[in-house]
Amino acid sequence: MSREVLGFLLDAPGEIFIDATLGDGGHARALLSERPDIVLYGIDRDIEAIEFAKERLCGFGHRIQFIHGRFGEIAKKRDIPPAAGVLFDLGLSSRQVDNPERGFSFSRDARLDMRMDTSQKTTAYDIVNETSRGELTKIIATYGEQPGAGRIARAIDVYREKEPIETTLELAGIVRKAIHPATAADLARVFQSIRIVVNDELGELKRGLAGMLEVLMPGGIMVVISYHSLEDRIVKQFFVTEEKGCICDPDMPVCRCGHKPRLERLTKKPIVPSESEIKENPRARSAKLRAASKLI
């Protein structure tokens, strides 16, 4: 959704921009090309993404600053100037999914990993083999929104009593037997749920939205592209809350929170990809874009 992203960000009043999810650098390259006056901070927790983007964006020289880390922590740890625009393009890149060694795909044989930051300790192997059956059921049902979560968790529990589940194809095979016949969508939801927990994706998103709002300058624009309902719900709730004045309990006779509106939503409903874009990039079919402008 590069055209829509540029439509919101190109006219943002200022020279500092933040791509909080740099990935392969596609959005960063478009912004730097269209706005020769800007400096962009590109953040990613995946060191492989940083190295790939460095090569792709080397022609922009000092106008691109690379930061390896979680976007939820950067605002507190780094001295970034007030930003005119902030972009979040959530989810996985095609390069991450297509690399079998990363363990994100249910159709490629690899050790259960799923870490976006390969320096962290917890992997999908740990979640699948060490989480209780009850907690696994909750993870698959909540973060995957997957029917039959209890049966899948039970099948995992029975299998791992005999031997550890070590690979992506082992896990996919267990899911297929638990909810036979399992579709590709079923497998994708189960893998998604585990990946979300491994990387604390929803907690990271909440921290990132709050942190980047502090970095954003008045009049600056925040754009967020999400790829599943849980992410989109968090983004919508954040924008709605920050657009309100008082957020006290409605039964309170007098406002005690002192909350003032900090954002104005530029998209009351999310923007979704066009049919032509989905044909060119099928992985974009679930994308939803929301944007807001900072007031104070």
Domain of 41, CATH number, reads 3.40.50.150
Please tell me whether residues 169 and 228 are part of one structural domain.
no
17/90 same-domain check: yes
Both 82 and 19 in one domain: the answer is yes
Whether residues 229 and 85 share a domain: the answer is yes
For residue 47, tell me if it sits in a domain.
yes
Which tops the pLDDT comparison, 156 or 284? 156
25 and 158 co-located in one domain: no
For residue 105, being part of any structural domain is answered with no
Q: Does some domain include residue 259?
A: yes
Residue 19 belongs to domain spanning: 2-95+201-294
What is the tens place of the pLDDT at every residue in 206-223?
999 999 999 999 999 999
Domain contains 284: yes
Q: Is residue 207 located within the same domain as residue 290?
A: yes
Total number of domains constituting the chain: 2
Task: Please state the rounded mean pLDDT for residues 162-175.
Answer: 97
Q: Are residues 211 and 90 in the same domain?
A: yes
What percentage of the chain reaches a pLDDT higher than 70? 99
Residues 73 and 157 in one domain: no
Query: Residue 156: which CATH number?
Result: 1.10.150.170
Examine residue 181 and state whether it is found in any structural domain, yes or no. Answer: yes
Residues 38 and 179 in one domain: no
Are 81 and 152 within one domain? no
pLDDT digits (tens, 9 = 90+) for 59-75: 999 999 999 998 888 76
Question: Of 198, 215, 250, which residue is a domain's last?
Answer: 198
Residue 112 lies in a domain: no
Residue-level pLDDT at 272 = 95
Residue-by-residue DSSP string for the chain: -HHHHHHHHTT-SSSEEEETT-TTSHHHHHHHHH-TT-EEEEEES-HHHHHHHHHHTGGGGGGEEEEES-HHHHHHHS-PPPEEEEEEE-S--HHHHH-GGG---TTS--BS---SSTTSS--HHHHHHHS-HHHHHHHHHHHS--TTHHHHHHHHHHHHHHS---BHHHHHHHHHHHTSSPPHHHHHHHHHHHHHHHTTHHHHHHHHHHHHHHHEEEEEEEEEEE-SHHHHHHHHHHHHHHH-S--S-TT-SS--S-----EEES-SS-B---HHHHHH-GGGTT-EEEEEEE--
Q: Average pLDDT, stretch 41-53?
A: 95
Q: What digits encode the pLDDT tens for the residues 217-273?
A: 999 999 999 999 999 999 999 999 999 988 788 888 888 888 789 999 999 999 999
The domain boundary residue, chosen from 178, 198, 218 = 198
Domain boundary among 198, 223, 253: 198
Evaluate whether residue 109 is within a structural domain.
no
The chain-wide mean pLDDT, for the chain, equals 93
- Regarding whether 205 and 180 lie in a shared domain, the answer is no
Please report, rounded to a whole number, the percentage of residues in the chain having pLDDT higher than 90: 80
6 in the same domain as 138: no
pLDDT tens for each residue of 72-108 = 887 666 678 899 999 999 988 888 888 888 999 999 9
Residue 56 has pLDDT above 90, yes or no: yes
pLDDT at 91 (0 to 100): 85
Please state whether the predicted TM-score (pTM) of the whole model is above 0.75: yes
Provide the pLDDT for residue 78. 67
Residue 171 has pLDDT above 70, yes or no: yes
Indicate whether 28 belongs to any domain: yes
Listed range (130-139, 189-198, 273-282) with the worst mean pLDDT: 273-282
